Structure 1
């Protein structure tokens, strides 16, 4: 079986610099958005989708130079990030001041639904974070904090209620019958929680070196009903290291995705193999027996995302 079409190489990722409403806003205008698997939540027709086959979840990425930030937003379904490179500050709340956490390479953050969140590269070089969004339609788009929409309009970008962007600098206007995206009311905003850092970290952030220690004999369940970060958002996330990798081939009844974060990995299946490097993404079809093992000496870690039969929705409170 030829699976070359199922692999997206880091060096072949095609960015979109006009994906979201803050694409012209100073401080956010150098972002690059990548839609790797699934339709994603981009508001721009310029967004390239690398693999459009439904998986039950979406895989994307954000690349940003130092001091560039992604504006405050929310989704109806789960949003989880792991850091591929760089040093990142995540912040949340109505004004982005309720709490914050700094993540290093390999760390993962399963962000609670129902709160505005943003992030910025606070490192010294271009950085990349990989994203997992629940559901095939990723929850129907993005909800922006009101001030983000207002500031974007000052710089020429208007978001229609149809979820599409219109650039007034290019003489684009809202089509007849399409109104601007309405701002959330003060009543709606007042219902949103403002969790502190101390409230969020224990149940939503897992550190790379903690997971390395926990994956010394078997893959570490990171996101799942029994995971470190207990959630059932329509997918599960496992963390695998050299110590917990197995050459025994096995299959899942659901689609899965392999995403190395450290080292090179060899993926074998009956009729072929592939070598994956950090930043590469491989879609594994449901029912395909395969194995993933480090192909070189040295540090090696990989995230595996697998669809589940749980409905994609708000962060699980079970």
Structure 2
């Protein structure tokens, strides 16, 4: 394998984990697949495969689900954004998932506010895939489940220990003698969580693909950042580039950079080696590496570019 291929995780080579989270046996959520592409990820299962384990300041992952499969209500300590690669998805939020919702289609991006429970469901007619960026290197240290999710999981044999490890009682697993079950969130902590409406969330947290295509006609559209369309400082910034806004010149970045094509095929050169990126592929470019990227064929071409920043990956993007 050439060196450049070590930078790339191909969509067709993604290895799913079907036991990544506490709701893996819960009806309605038991067919979902979780992918950890770059970084340690957020899985609660030792079965999770990590494609590129480098710590780059943020994590890249994905969720794949058949129609009507949903991901249960949860929260993270740090930023979580999604863009839709394939299909049509409903995102919902709040203590019971009924505070607000938004439907996203291919290429749309959602910077989910912190401090609220969120879930998502594939409402399309075929297998769907959403790509995720999570703030910080230790994204696995801050997943909180709504109490009803933990109760439902226990009814179907899965118990989450306070050590963050899943135990499957259907397989004969038992919690070690010195590990207690993960406690349910207290009423006091639940009361601190925001319940924003769709009108609260939509203007400042969602960007639509065709709007970004128009905005990136002459220059990259800065989607998430301090002065971006969606203003936030989650420890990384997100740009959207299309055919006419990308420079073919060889250049470097001071930060670790990830390229994630949405449409079209892209010729990528890193340190003089060349390859082609396709939709669903993920490419890591380390800080200081000389590279260039250009569309390799005519037609629609777009990609998301994520770069680490010096901002702390903390409680950003909240709605109160």
1-side partners of 2:130 and 2:201: how far apart? Answer: 19
Question: Which residue of structure 2 lines up, in the alignment, with residue 62 of structure 1?
Answer: 63
Alignment of 1:120-131 (within 5 A): 120-131=121-132
1-side partners of 2:154 and 2:140: how far apart? Answer: 24
Alignment of 1:161-180 (within 5 A): 161-180=162-181
* Structure 2 SS opposite 1:249: coil
Give CA-to-partner distance per residue, 1:207-259, whole Å, 9 cap, x none.
Answer: 00000010011100000001111011100000000011110121111111000
- In the alignment, does 2:71 pair up with 1:90? no
Question: Which residue of structure 2 lines up, in the alignment, with residue 73 of structure 1?
Answer: 74
Asked whether the equivalents of residues 141 and 163 of structure 1 are also in contact (C-alpha less than 8 Å), the reply is no
By how many angstroms is 1:316 displaced?
4.7
* Structure 1 SS opposite 2:244: coil
Question: More deviation in 156-165 or 2-11?
Answer: 2-11
2-side partners of 1:71 and 1:103: how far apart? Answer: 17
Question: Which residue of structure 2 lines up, in the alignment, with residue 34 of structure 1?
Answer: 35
Question: Which residue of structure 1 lines up, in the alignment, with residue 11 of structure 2?
Answer: 10
Q: TM-score, normalised by structure 1?
A: 0.98
By how many angstroms is 1:269 displaced?
3.2
Question: Which residue of structure 2 lines up, in the alignment, with residue 287 of structure 1?
Answer: 288
Question: Which residue of structure 2 lines up, in the alignment, with residue 108 of structure 1?
Answer: 109
Question: Which residue of structure 1 lines up, in the alignment, with residue 303 of structure 2?
Answer: 302
1-side partners of 2:142 and 2:60: how far apart? Answer: 14
Distance 1:4 1:182, change over 3 A: same
By how many angstroms is 1:317 displaced?
6.7
* Structure 1 SS opposite 2:248: strand
Asked whether the equivalents of residues 76 and 139 of structure 1 are also in contact (C-alpha less than 8 Å), the reply is no
1-side partners of 2:180 and 2:248: how far apart? Answer: 56
2-side partners of 1:206 and 1:314: how far apart? Answer: 20
* Structure 1 SS opposite 2:21: coil
Alignment of 1:128-167 (within 5 A): 128-138=129-139, 140-167=141-168
Asked whether the equivalents of residues 109 and 207 of structure 2 are also in contact (C-alpha less than 8 Å), the reply is yes
Asked whether the equivalents of residues 93 and 116 of structure 1 are also in contact (C-alpha less than 8 Å), the reply is yes
RMSD between aligned residues: 1.2
**Alignment length, in residue pairs?**
318
* Structure 1 SS opposite 2:3: coil
1-side partners of 2:190 and 2:288: how far apart? Answer: 44
1-side partners of 2:209 and 2:180: how far apart? Answer: 45
